[in-house]
Amino acid sequence: MTVRALARVNLAAIERNVSRLSGVVGGGTQVCAVVKADGYGHGAVPSARAALRGGASWLAVATALEAVELRAGGIEEPVLVMGALSADELPVALEADADVVAWSEGFVDLLGPGPARVHVKLDTGMGRLGTRDQGEAMRIAERVDAAHGIGLVGAMTHFATADEDHEYVAVQLERFNRFVDELRERWPELLVHAANSAATLSVPASHYDMVRCGIAMYGCDPMNQDPAAWGLEPALELHSYVAAVKPARAGDSVGYGRRFVAGGDTKIATLPIGYGDGIRRALSNNCEVLVRGRRYPLVGTVSMDNITLEARPTTDIRIGDTATIIGADGGERVTAEDLARRIGTINYEIVCGISSRVPREYHRDGSAV
């Protein structure tokens, strides 16, 4: 380790994950790689390039500036901005040659004379963006199609429970299929898409013309259990190093609030990484870190810049040893899913939460890129 914290991203793993997802859906369905939120903390442009090498043909983001970042990084493939766009943000997205999503007739008015490519969205049950009214969604599609310089390109929805409740997915599919049937009577060439990572892996009826895969392309399990169960490889490892090792006696405390008090003679190893880097404070006294192939408990309160581990007096931990917060060391492994379950959240939040002050180092199966 030459830096206090480091996220190592294996681009070859992303390529293989996307190839795996492409195999799941088959040749008749395209894969759209979702690289919003800086590629779920993995880096948007490097992840996008890896996904395209792995067989993706589309990319998706949430904001106009995320589309600009991809174009600035030399990405030329189709980009879809899935999120809400204000009157000020919309021209930014269009100037980046990105497709946009419409779910209100007023949004069509903002598009002006174009050029623009539009996907109309029906809210079949997520309850966020999109109209629930199929008639209104059809009117939006008609207005887009009739507008000069604006192309009706696709139709979409989003699932609320594909990771846990397939009965509700079936309800959403029924609603969406009615909409798709009506659309295709008028516009048979529309690109229809609905599936997120969970639906891609577990709901074949949701695949349509394209699937939108985010968390799975990074090798995380969309069901927040075990990536290996789906043939996925985690692409990201998070490391720090042992900056100090010091003895502690019975009654000595560690960290803010004295939330850990030594019960006997022990040693404390300090790592220069904390919640300012994305180590959630809820992991205080609630986590294990790998050093020299062994698990050591995180003890005391997670600080902004440091965490502490308890090591027995006979430990062979040394200053300078690499510490693995996410990843493998010897025969042991800690996954984003492991950390998420510890604190009652999801793997998305763990990887997206790794802050920008943690450098990202990219490699392909160990070879630097």
pLDDT at 112: 85
| Tokens matching residue 208 | 């349509």
Class of domain 11-220: alpha beta
- Residue 257, SS3 per DSSP: helix
Q: What is the pTM of this model?
A: 0.96
Q: What are the pLDDT digits (tens) for 238-257?
A: 999 999 999 999 999 999 99
pLDDT at 340: 98
pLDDT at 353: 98
pLDDT at 241: 98
Q: Where in the chain is the domain with CATH 3.20.20.10?
A: 11-220
Helix H, strand E, coil C: the string for 158-209 is CCCCCCCCHHHHHHHHHHHHHHHHHHHHHCCCCEEECCCHHHHHHCHHHCCC
Task: Return the amino acid letter for 347.
Answer: N
From first CA to last CA, the distance across the chain in angstroms is 18
pLDDT at 113: 85
Q: What are the pLDDT digits (tens) for 180-221?
A: 999 999 999 999 999 999 999 999 999 999 999 999 999 999
Q: Where in the chain is the domain with CATH 2.40.37.10?
A: 236-334
Give the contacts of 161 (CB within 8 A, at least 6 positions apart). 168, 169
pLDDT at 314: 75
| Tokens matching residue 10 | 């294996």
Give the contacts of 369 (CB within 8 A, at least 6 positions apart). 11, 46, 362, 363
| 54, 22 contact by CB (below 8 A) | yes
Sign of CA dihedral 36, 40, 42, 47: negative
Note down pLDDT in tens along the chain; length 369 residues.
789 999 999 999 999 999 999 999 999 999 999 999 999 999 999 999 999 999 999 999 999 999 999 999 999 999 999 999 999 999 999 999 999 999 999 999 999 888 999 999 999 999 999 899 999 999 999 999 999 999 999 999 999 999 999 999 999 999 999 999 999 999 999 999 999 999 999 999 999 999 999 999 999 999 999 999 999 999 999 999 999 999 999 999 999 999 999 999 999 999 999 999 999 999 999 999 999 999 999 999 999 999 999 998 778 899 999 999 999 999 999 999 999 999 999 999 999 999 999 999 999 999 999
CATH architecture of residue range(s) 236-334: Beta Barrel (2.40)
pLDDT at 114: 82
Q: Which residues are catalytic?
A: 36, 256
Compute CA 48 distance to the chain's CA centroid, rounded to the nearest angstrom. 12
pLDDT at 302: 98
Of the CA atoms within 13 Å of residue 155, those in its CB half-sphere come to 29
